Amino acid sequence: MLKNADLQRLLESDGDGGDGDAEATTEDVEDVEEAIQKVTPEDPEKETEVVLCDGAVRYQMIKRAAERSARIGDGCSIAYRTAEGEPLSEAVLGAATLPWALEVTARRLQVGDVVDVVATGEHALADDDTLDHGASSSRKWRFEVATVKGTAQDKFRLTVEERIEVAQQLRERGNAMLKQGRLLRACDHYERGSGLMDVIEAEDMGMPGSKKDATAVANNRRLRECQQPLLLNWALALMRRKQWHEAERKCSEVLLDIDGACVKALFRRGQCQVQLGNLEDAKKDLLKARDLENSIADTWLSPLTYPVFSD
pLDDT tens-digit series, residues 246-293: 999 999 999 999 999 999 999 999 999 999 999 999 999 999 998 998
Same domain, 199 and 239: yes
Q: Which of 97, 116, 149 is the last residue of a domain?
A: 149
Query: Which structural domain, as residue segments, surrounds residue 10?
Result: 4-39
Return the higher-pLDDT residue of 42 and 261: 261
**Per-residue pLDDT for 113 more than 80?**
yes
Taking Cα atoms as reference points, which of 147, 166, 289, 293 lies closest to residue 226? 166
For residues 157-176, give the mean pLDDT.
96
Question: Comparing 125-139, 234-248, 278-292, which segment has the lowest mean pLDDT?
Answer: 125-139
**Residue 264, domain member (yes or no):** yes
Domain count, the chain: 3
- The residue ranges of DSSP E strands in 153-201, in sequence order, are none
**Per-residue pLDDT for 15 more than 50?**
no
Same domain, 199 and 91: no
Which CATH number belongs to the domain containing residue 201 in this structure?
1.25.40.10
Same domain, 125 and 31: no
Question: Across-strand partners of 115?
Answer: 61, 143
Half-sphere exposure of 118 (CA within 13 A, CB side): 8
- 63-86 pLDDT, tens per residue? 999 888 888 999 999 999 999 999
Distances (CA, A) of 156 to 72, 73, 162, 204, 219: 16, 14, 11, 20, 14
**Per-residue pLDDT for 176 more than 90?**
yes
Q: What is the pLDDT at residue 294?
A: 74
66 Rama sector, left if φ>0, alpha if ψ -120 to 50, beta otherwise: alpha
**Residue 310, domain member (yes or no):** no
**Residue 24, domain member (yes or no):** yes
Same domain, 169 and 132: no
Which CATH number belongs to the domain containing residue 98 in this structure?
3.10.50.40
Same domain, 225 and 279: yes
